[in-house]
Amino acid sequence: MRELRFDPLRNRWVIVSPERARRPSDYLIEKRSQPAREAVACPFCRGHEARTPPEIYAIRDENSAPNTPGWRIRVVPNKFPALRIEDEAIRFGVGIFDVVSGAGAHEVIIETPEHHLTLADLPVEWIKDVLMTYRERIRDLHRDERLRYVLVFKNHHLAAGASLTHTHSQLIATPLVPPTIKEELRVCRQHYQSKERCLICDLIRQERRLAERIIYEDENFLVWAPFASSFPFEMWLLPEEHRHDFSSLSDAHLMAVARVLKITLLGLKELLDDPPYNLVLHTAPPPFKRPGHTDYWSSIAYDYHWHFEIIPRLTRIAGFEWGAGLFINPTPPEAAAEYLRQKVQHQTVADAPADMPSGKAG
C-alpha cells in the first residue's frame, strides 16, 4: 500500500511506499553490497532486457522487437515503484491527518545500452533523444487526469541516490503538485500578477547584464550559478525563449538543449572529477482545470519558465540543514561560476558523429 501523507506541522506531503524497504536489515544490505551485486548482472545492459519489467517506450532499430536488444533508449517501470499507475488517487482523512492513496507512475529511462558511459559522454544527438524521451513520457502521462505533476530527474552515482551505476534517469508522476514546484509556481504567478513579467525572464536579463554568475551563455541559453545557491557549484540551465512547458519543445529545440546540457555536464565532470550530482527538470504541470481552482493555471503560459537544475552532491545534508531548513553553502556562487566557466566554455562538441546508429521511436 502506497500513499501520500500530509504533515500538518511542516505543511508538506510525504510518500510512504513500503515496497521499497521494509525491515531494518534491508537498509543494512543496501548500504554494504550494492556495487558488488551489480557487477554480477546489470539489468540495464544490452541483452538483459528480461531482467526489467516490460518496456513502456523505446527508441530502437526498425526491425527489433520490444524487450530485446536493438534499443538505444529504453523506458521501463521501476521495479520498486514509489507510486504505481494501477492504484487509485483517493483522498481521505484519518482524524486530523490527510492521506491520498498512491496513484502515480515511477519509470526508469535507460539512456544507453552501454554500461560504462555517463550522460555527458553520449553524443549530442543521443542526448537529444534522451530529452525527446523525457518529452514523450511527460506528454503521455499528462493525459492522465489523476496525475498532477511529472518530475523527471537523474541521480548520477551512488552518492547522489542512484542504486545502479548504469546511466539512467527516472520520472515520478504524483497525484499532487510537489511542494518545491508548487512554491516556484506560486512565486512566479505572484511576480506576474504584480508586474506582468516572467520572473525567470527578468532574472535572465539581469544576470546577463551583471555577468558575475554566468557559467555559459549564448543567444539561446544561460547556465547560471544561482545568487542564493543552496549547494556548492549548483547550476541552472535557463532557456532564453520563454516557454512554460518542456513537453512543447520541438526536436530542433531539444537538439539545442542537448548541446548546452552536454557541455555543462562535461565541464562539471572535468572540474570536480565526475562528481555525484542530481539533475531535475522543472516544467509546468498538466493543464487540467480543478473544481474550485478554475483559474489556477490560467496565467501559467506567461508566468512560468521551464528549466533544468543541477546539484552536485559535494556536501551532506546534516543536522543543521535538517533541523532548520537552511542550507550552508561554503562556495559563493560567484566563485563557483568562475571555476565552472573556465571548464564549460572550452568544451567543443560535434553534433552528430558518423557512427550514430539510426533508430525509431515506438
Interface contacts to Zn ion, rule CB under 5 A: 42, 44-45, 115, 166, 198, 200-201, 242, 282, 305
Min dist CB 37 to Zn ion, Å, is: 12
The contacts of residue 171 (CB under 8 Å, 6+ apart) are 105, 106, 107, 109, 134, 137, 138, 141, 150, 151, 152, 153
- Closest of 260, 225, 185 to residue 332, by C-alpha: 225
Q: In which residue are the cell numbers 542537448 written?
A: 258
**What is the C-alpha separation between 268 and 277, in angstroms, rounded?**
9
Measure CA 360 to chain center. 24
Q: In which residue are the cell numbers 546539484 written?
A: 311
Strands (E) across the chain are located at 3-7, 12-16, 57-60, 71-77, 91-94, 97-101, 105-110, 149-156, 168-174, 214-217, 221-224, 235-239, 277-282, 307-312, 360-361
Residues in the chain: 362
**What is the C-alpha separation between 266 and 259, in angstroms, rounded?**
11
**What is the C-alpha separation between 155 and 167, in angstroms, rounded?**
9
Choose, from 106, 156, 168, 307, the residue flagged as catalytic: 168
Catalytic residue status for 253: no
Between 5 and 115, CB nearer to Zn ion: 115
**What is the C-alpha separation between 115 and 112, in angstroms, rounded?**
8
Min dist CB 106 to Zn ion, Å, is: 20
**What is the C-alpha separation between 52 and 73, in angstroms, rounded?**
14
Between 147 and 185, CB nearer to Zn ion: 185
Instruction: Give the DSSP letter of residue 358.
Output: P
Q: In which residue are the cell numbers 516572467 written?
A: 198
Tell me if 278 sits within 8 A of 166, measured CB to CB: no
Between 56 and 110, CB nearer to Zn ion: 110
* Strand order through the sheet with 3-7: 12-16, 3-7, 97-101, 91-94
Cα end-to-end span (Å), the chain: 32
Catalytic positions, please?
168
